[in-house]
């Protein structure tokens, strides 16, 4: 039987929570373990549906992956396959990240196009073009990719746009290439830096992550290591927006403000007091929020597309109107219709959404449309009158270890309940 999230609004938040390891960091790191001979211990690895999907892919390839207390132990020494089934690939968008690693390790890879949240086209053409630049022969046939590379050769690869996935895939492939690869117009996200740090901990020679040029000296023999995954900046943004929505005083242990400064800047503009120290971030939200200047999503260090929905939810009862412009994914406003069911005033035209603050939000049965949209519904429910029941929370479980648990730690009335036939 499926489950719902039941959230009763009207409670100010107060408390502390430790931020989980980053979903968008651990997935490419799990793919990178294919390059390391020996055991890898990942500390702070979040227990997510997408992590489970990655574990299934690793096991399908012949690797060992199992939990040891709070660490995920991975040993890829016994890898025996270079293909991933269509069923496994469809479980998440990030499965494409395995392509570069398998190609570098095996010299060939066969897999289908990935699945995941339906946020509009997220083509992997940049991944494929970059891999071809490194010498891979790729044949696309019936939704499958057949990749061969007897020898990958390092060179400069210029990305048409700073794609996180393409940058990471090319970093992995380049570890198995001869010579030096330079990825120009690379994505600058903190998760790319985390991947570089992991690879270097395994013996790779990667530099420049966090800038627009990443350099990889291929041909190094990589070994296992123990590595701690960075904190999840989008989970931190979610809980900051939860406090902004409900009001309150919370502390996020482990959160790094430098990773989400555009989000904290928007919340300060809205009237929250956000401070950071070496241990984490504190948010104090006492008054009704104000509308903020235009929020335009952009590649890092711009405003993250993954935080757009939760900030929108936090501003539903603000004074004035806020304009959102989504510049990364086409279908990133699928949560809007569900927020409107709760009394929100939002008008959407193409890539632009205008949120006009309302006095009150009310409870309603709502449905998750995607991972971050589902989190946004919970953020809005914290400020709504009555009990909001959020269904299809399988999307939320892809990116949050236990959203209800963490919200309860911050003082919210949020629980998982079994879904009955009548909802």
Annotated binding site: 23-24, 93, 122-126, 306, 328
What lies within 8 Å, CB to CB, of 132 at 6+ separation is 138
Q: Which residue has the tokens 């296992």?
A: 224
CA 63 vs CA 41, 79, 222, 225, 286: distances in Å: 14, 5, 16, 16, 51
Backbone φ, ψ for residue 56 (5° rounding): -65, -40
Task: Extract the tokens encoding 279.
Answer: 């241990």
d(CA 231, CA 32): 18
Provide the pairing of β-strand 248-253 with 13-18.
Answer: parallel
- Catalytic residue positions, numbered: 117
Task: Extract the tokens encoding 132.
Answer: 């071809």
What lies within 8 Å, CB to CB, of 103 at 6+ separation is 109, 131, 136, 147, 149, 152, 173, 176
- Partners of 65 in beta bridges: 74
Cα 12-252-401 angle, rounded to 5 deg: 95
Which positions make up the binding site for UDP-N-acetyl-alpha-D-glucosamine? 93, 122-126, 306, 328
Which positions make up the binding site for phosphoenolpyruvate? 23-24
Find the radius of gyration of the CA atoms of the chain.
21
């Amino acid at each position: 039987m499926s489950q719902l999230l039941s959230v009763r609004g009207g409670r100010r938040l107060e408390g502390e929570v430790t931020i989980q390891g980053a979903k968008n960091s651990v997935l490419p790191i799990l793919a990178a373990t294919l390059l390391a001979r020996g055991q890898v211990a990942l500390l702070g690895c979040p227990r997510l549906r997408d992590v489970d999907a990655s574990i299934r892919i690793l096991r399908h390839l012949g690797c060992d992956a199992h939990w040891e207390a709070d660490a995920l132990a991975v040993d890829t020494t016994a890898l025996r396959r270079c293909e991933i089934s269509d069923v496994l690939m469809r479980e998440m968008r990030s499965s494409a990240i395995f392509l570069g690693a398998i190609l570098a390790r095996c010299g060939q890879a066969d897999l289908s196009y990935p699945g995941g949240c339906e946020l509009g086209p997220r083509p992997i053409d940049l991944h494929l073009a970059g891999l071809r630049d490194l010498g891979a022969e790729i044949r696309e046939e019936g939704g499958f990719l057949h990749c061969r590379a007897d020898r990958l050769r390092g060179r400069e690869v210029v990305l048409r746009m700073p794609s996180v996935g393409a940058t990471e895939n090319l970093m992995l492939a380049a570890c198995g290439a001869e010579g030096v690869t330079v990825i120009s117009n690379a994505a600058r996200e903190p998760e790319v830096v985390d991947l570089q740090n992991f690879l270097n901990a395994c013996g790779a020679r990667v530099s420049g992550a966090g800038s627009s040029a990443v350099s990889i000296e291929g041909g190094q023999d990589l070994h296992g290591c123990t590595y701690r995954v960075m904190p999840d900046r989008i989970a931190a943004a979610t809980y900051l927006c939860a406090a902004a929505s409900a009001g309150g005083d919370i502390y996020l242990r482990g959160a790094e403000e430098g990773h989400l400064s555009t989000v904290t800047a928007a919340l300060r503009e809205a009237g929250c007091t956000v401070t950071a120290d070496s241990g984490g971030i504190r948010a104090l939200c006492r008054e009704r929020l104000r509308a903020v200047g235009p929020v335009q999503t952009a590649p890092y260090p711009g405003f993250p597309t993954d935080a757009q929905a939760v900030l929108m939810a936090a501003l539903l009862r603000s004074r004035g109107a806020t304009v959102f412009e989504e510049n990364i994914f086409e279908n990133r406003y699928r949560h809007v219709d569900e927020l409107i069911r709760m009394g929100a005033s939002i008008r959407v035209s193409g890539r632009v959404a205008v949120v006009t603050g309302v006095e009150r939000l009310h409870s309603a049965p709502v449905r998750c449309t995607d991972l971050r949209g589902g989190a946004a519904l919970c953020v809005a429910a914290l400020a709504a009158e009555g009990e909001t029941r959020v269904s299809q929370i399988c999307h939320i479980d892809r990116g949050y270890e236990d959203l209800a648990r963490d919200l309860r730690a911050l003082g919210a009335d949020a629980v998982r309940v079994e879904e009955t036939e009548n909802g």
